[in-house]
Amino acid sequence: MKFDMHCHTREGSIDARVSIREYLEIIKEKGFGGMLATDHDSYGGYDYWAAHRDEMPEGVIVIRGVEYDTRDSGHFLVIVPDDVNIRLLTYRGMGVEALTRIVHRMGGVLGPAHPFGMRSSSAMFFRKLKKDPWLFREFDFLEGMNTCEKVSANAMARELADRYDLPCVGGSDAHKAIYAGTCFTDFDRDITSAQDMIDAIREGGIAAFGGKEREFLRSHNKRNWFATTWGFRAFNFGVGALYTPVRRHELNQLMREEKGPFHSVDHL
């Protein structure tokens, strides 16, 4: 069953220009079985689909995910079971260690998005994972194909996955209709829920992944300019710091629901 594993929608990501309905129409035409909605620190696209499911294209499914902005390691793709309280994951700024412990405690999986992509938001351009590379052994997968990135960046991502024996997924990272479904992940089973996808990733159920990188233009180099990189990092850090009290409140609520503490959750 073929999925696009990195998708942004107008309903959930401020920088996306494609609606979730249009996204589904495009990938259905391309033979996909579904998409993992990974809006930026938001479940807006998934929530819109769930609220208007009867009006959506039939034969394609949406799995709830998120692209989470950590404070110290860039962007991570996160999937948790459908019945889990996930408001905590809509407030950017957790450290990667806290994020990993919380997601695993909730029964979910996570992995770095485009690890050699934009310097402002990709894991291998942060000091944290260079200092503590053992953290890669705590992740569940890695994005090995992202159509936004250079061929060389995707090749290095796959080499990194091989080094730590991590399965790879392919995702278009599409923010515009033209790029929807340009990367894929094939599963060896039917996927009808987030739990199905979590189980497939844990059990070696990714049969194949791939796609084609978009044409890389000179103008794309602006993404890695010093001002762009550090401007975004400062913004992300500042907003994340403002969210700290809200994250702590959400974590306390989650602890009450789980009836047990989250041990060693630092840098929340």
Q: Is residue 267 part of a domain?
A: no
* Domain coverage including residue 224: 2-258
Strand, helix or coil for residue 247: helix
Q: Render each residue's pLDDT in the chain as its tens digit; 268 residues.
A: 999 999 999 999 999 999 999 999 999 999 999 999 999 999 999 999 999 999 999 999 999 999 999 999 999 999 999 999 789 999 999 999 999 999 999 999 999 999 999 889 999 999 999 999 999 999 999 999 999 999 999 999 999 999 999 999 999 999 999 999 999 999 999 999 999 999 999 999 999 999 999 877 666 777 778 788 888 889 888 989 999 999 998 888 877 776 555 554 555 5
- CA 60 to CA 86: how far, in whole Å? 23
Q: Is residue 268 part of a domain?
A: no
Q: What is the pLDDT of residue 225?
A: 82
Q: Is residue 90 part of a domain?
A: yes
Can you give the CATH number for the domain in which 71 is found?
Answer: 3.20.20.140
Strand, helix or coil for residue 245: helix
List the alpha helices (DSSP H) in 168-243.
194-202, 226-242
Could you give the count of Cα atoms lying within 13 Å of 150 in the half-sphere of its Cβ? 13
- CA 17 to CA 72: how far, in whole Å? 28
Could you give the C-alpha distances from 22 to 29, 53, 155, 225, in angstroms and in order?
Answer: 11, 13, 30, 33
How many domains does one find in the chain?
1
**Diameter of the chain by CA atoms?**
53
Q: Is residue 35 part of a domain?
A: yes
Place of tokens 């278009």: 172
DSSP3 helix / strand / coil % (the chain, rounded to 5) = 40, 20, 40
Q: Is residue 65 part of a domain?
A: yes
Sheet with 61-64: list strands edge to edge.
Answer: 61-64, 34-37, 2-7, 183-187, 206-211
Q: Is residue 158 part of a domain?
A: yes
In tens, the pLDDT along 234-246 reads 988 898 999 999 9
DSSP-assigned letters across all residues of 62-103: EEE-EEEE-SSS-EEEEE--TTS--GGGGS----HHHHHHHH
In tens, the pLDDT along 72-84 reads 999 999 999 999 9
DSSP-assigned letters across all residues of 103-146: HHHTT-EEEESSTTS-TTT-GGGSHHHHH-GGGGGG-S-EEEEE
Q: Is residue 126 part of a domain?
A: yes
Q: Is residue 116 part of a domain?
A: yes
